[in-house]
Structures are given as C-alpha cells and as structure tokens.
Structure 1
C-alpha cells in the first residue's frame, strides 16, 4: 500500500517542463489545420449527408483508396454484419448495407490514422474507441435501430480528442493515463488537472473545424451526459430523438468499457451503469443492464479483431 501511494505521489510530481502545453484554442487550430482524418473519410461523411448522393457517387470516392476498400470488403464479409451473401464490390456493399453502414465502415477503416504513432498507449485508446463503437451499436439496436450507425460512428470518434492531445503532448498525456490507472479517476478529470481542458472539448473543436456532420460533433462534445452542466444537459434533452438516443448509447458504452476494462489496464468494478443519464434515456434499469453486460463483452471479444 505504501509503495502504491509513493508511486501515485511520484506520478503527480513528475515535471512537464520539457513540454509546453498549448491552450485549447491553439491545440484545436493546430490539429484542425492538419486534417489528420483521411480525405476519403471526410468526403464520404459529406456525401452521406446529402440526399442527392447515389451509390455510384459514394463508391467512386471510396474505391480511390485501396486500403479503405479492402477493409470495407473484409468487415462487410465478417460476422459483424452476418450476411448470407458475399460482398464483392464497394457498390454492392452500399446497396446491401446502406449508406450509413458504409459510412461507419469507412470511419472504422480510417480513424486509426489520427494517431501519429502506435504503441501501447495508442492501442489502449483504439481498443476503447472500438469497444465504445461496438457497445453503442448494440445498445441502439435494442432501443432505436435506425440510429445504430450514428451511435457506432460517434462511439468510434468520441476519443479523437484524446488521440490529438497524446499526439501533440505525449509526455503530458502519459501523466494523464498514469493518473487514471493509479487513482481510478476519469480521463476528463485527469486531463483537466494537467491541461486545464478535456478531450470532449478538443474533439468537438477539431471535428467542427474539419467540417464533419454536426450530429457527430455533438456526440463528441456531449457524450459525458451525466457530467454535463445544467445548460448543456438541457440542450441535449431538447435534441431530436435520434441524436439524444445516440448520445445515450455512447455514454453507456463508454462506461461499459470502464467496467469491462476495455481500453484500460484493469476493470473498474465500481461503475454505476444504472445511475447514468444515458441509461435513463434508454430505459435501462439494473436488471436489464446485468443482462446486457455479458452480451457486450462477448461481442467485443468476437469482433475487435476485424478493426485491428
């Protein structure tokens, strides 16, 4: 116990003098100007939001990127969608799965590129993003299936602010992660101690600067529903049902990741899922949540490999 307390004290006392921390506005501007999300993904999200877009339009953009095309076909033919027929072309995937599902696949195939490097820290972040996306999609199926793909994309991108903070200030973000793993605090709380701002603020600012759809940027901004100030919470509760449901799914999914240790060094057993604002919106009491947890864990173990 004494050794653990000394370790925690040491982590708090490590100096960050070798790394100058940017202000929130400086970080958003720098990351926003870099356009780390691949152009194909940004173009696909733009096209899917337009009613005039055809399957041919969408396929022609996607097929210019061989890596994304390969991954779309791989995931389309995996157990994730459970199709009985083989998908052989991007256009076929669009026709069978729909525009929004293909958008999800493009984002899933592209968002790893946000990380400048890929070590243990980045793998944990990626696992957390994938776990949140898988869980959010499952939760949406039980409440409002039409928002499953929005919840998936929101879940996959909800951590983009973490990736950006880690890219630009890796030493400082190492301190954030040590704080989280040694004390059990949330990432947002640990980030504010080091940076004075948190990953939802960074993610929202950068995604907005990249020009991605507003409903996705709002999920990134508001996914910590239960910790929002009263004005922000009121804005969420007044949102249309699709966005409100997707936000609720992502919040519960984030906490499921903490409970199951997905994207964390260890499980966080004291997570109170039934106390979340998201659980209330989804109508999930403790009995229902007890049934959902093992289903989510099984799905993650079965599906995570196709996103790596």
Structure 2
C-alpha cells in the first residue's frame, strides 16, 4: 500500500520515459530464439547514433581487441548477445540526457566511473563478472538523470542544498521531493523490464546490509556497486558529495593494501579511457 502511494506521488511529479524504440526492438530480438544475426544488424544499423556508439565501444580500450571492428556484424559476434543487451541499456541511459551541460556531464562521468571501477572490483573479488558490473555501474543512478530531466531547476537547488548543509543527495531528495533517485530508478527498471539484477542495483546501491526480503543472489553485485560508488565519490569523479563517506572495502573481503592498489589502477584506467567513454 505504501509503495502504491509513493508511486502515485512520483508519477504526478516525474516523467518516467519509455525505453527508446531501437532499444525495445533490439531487446525483443535478443530474447527471440529464432531471431537472426542479420535482423539484429538491420535494426541497429537503422539508428546511426546507436550503431556508431556500439562500434566505438566494441573498439574501446575496455575490450582491448587487437583488430579493429569495422561493422555491426563483427561487433555483435565479438561481444556476444548478452553483452550487446547490456550495451543497448547503457546507450539508452546515455540517450536520456536531453540536455548535456556541465551538470549532466558530471552525472554521466560519475556513472561511467562507477562502471569502470565496478568492473575492476569484480575482477579482484571474483564476486561478479566485469561486464555485469560495468553495465550495473552505468545504470545505478538512472533515477538522478530522470529527475534532472523533469525538474532541472529544482534538482540544481537540491544539489546546492546538499553542499550547503552537508547532507547526502538521497536525504535531500527525500526532504525536497518526498522521494529519491532510487525510488525513481526502481520505477524505470520496472517500466523498461530490465533484468532483476539491474533493478536491485538501481534500488539498493546505497543499502548495506542488503535487504533480507530480496533475493540474496544479487547481494554481491549491489555491494560491488555500492563500494565503487564510494570510491568515485572519494576521488571526486563526477558530481561530488560533501559527505566524507568511508570506503567499506572490508565488506568485499579485501584488505586496505588491495584497496589502495585497486584505486591506483582505477585512476590510471579512468584517466586513459574517460575521454573516449564520455564522448
């Protein structure tokens, strides 16, 4: 009942966008056992913006391939259907930025930072695959993007209040709006029919311990993104948080030395790839 009330309040205030048409078609084909590679290639190729981004990602330093991927068919064969599904979702998140000023760039930069950091955490902890951590990092703050799209003047004031009063973004969102970006993100995940794993990360990336009433299979990936978020906030990647949140590395079973090594590697990789990823 309480969830229904919150949802009604949210939907009166916030415009929950649909999944972009090309993304809906691609996701539908990926789930179709009888879909052909040619059909998938044709749909992607019709959207020049999406196909260009897909080729850029397939040729990015993240995938570290020796040969250049020159067409959509090669890209699909290289990265596989599961990774393609993640990239479709990631591209859709990027397309939500109706405006792309300094603030929007900072929101996007933070999501990319958490994505890249999460993939490194996944490697050293072996608690998730790097690809799933990458896309979960990209989508974790989708609620912020949608709030900013709908209420840009109010959202800037929310961040002003965050800095002036030294509170968390989530707490100030609750104070000003009566809901926060994790609630918005949860509604988006349901509307887009995102995989449950992504829905849980979007909803619980600030929560620890992971809620006992949810499927424990998603606890590790939520924790990876939570700690990666803390690392990026500590390093000031993207929109800064005035609260000095400690990095809860022990919850991942890693040592302080391992954390420092991870942060050093992350800084190098992010500096190397951020211009590529942000463009």
Distance 2:127 2:78 in 1: 17
Distance 1:141 1:52 in 2: 34
For the 8 Å contact 1:43–1:61, the answer to whether it is kept is yes
Distance 1:54 1:250 in 2: 34
Aligned to 2:212: 234
Aligned to 1:306: 276
Report the CA distance shift for 1:157/1:266 in structure 2 as closer, same or farther (over 3 A).
closer
Aligned to 1:73: 55
Q: Which of 265, 272, 276 is matched with 2:246 structurally?
A: 272
Give the structure-1-normalised TM-score: 0.79
Q: Which of 186, 201, 205 is matched with 1:219 structurally?
A: 201
Q: CA deviation at 1:74?
A: 1.7
Q: CA deviation at 1:180?
A: 2.6
Alignment of 1:31-110 (within 5 A): 31-32=15-16, 34-35=17-18, 37-48=19-30, 54-110=36-92
Unaligned 5+ runs, structure 1: 1-22
For the 8 Å contact 2:162–2:242, the answer to whether it is kept is no
Give the structure-2-normalised TM-score: 0.86
Number of residues paired by the alignment? 273
Q: CA deviation at 1:298?
A: 1.6
CA RMSD of aligned residues (A): 2.6
Distance 2:124 2:57 in 1: 22
Q: Which of 207, 215, 220 is matched with 1:245 structurally?
A: 220
Distance 1:180 1:105 in 2: 32
Q: State yes or no: 1:187 paired with 2:165.
A: no
Q: Which of 27, 45, 48 is matched with 2:10 structurally?
A: 27
Report the CA distance shift for 1:298/1:184 in structure 2 as closer, same or farther (over 3 A).
farther
Q: CA deviation at 1:53?
A: 5.2
Distance 1:86 1:145 in 2: 31
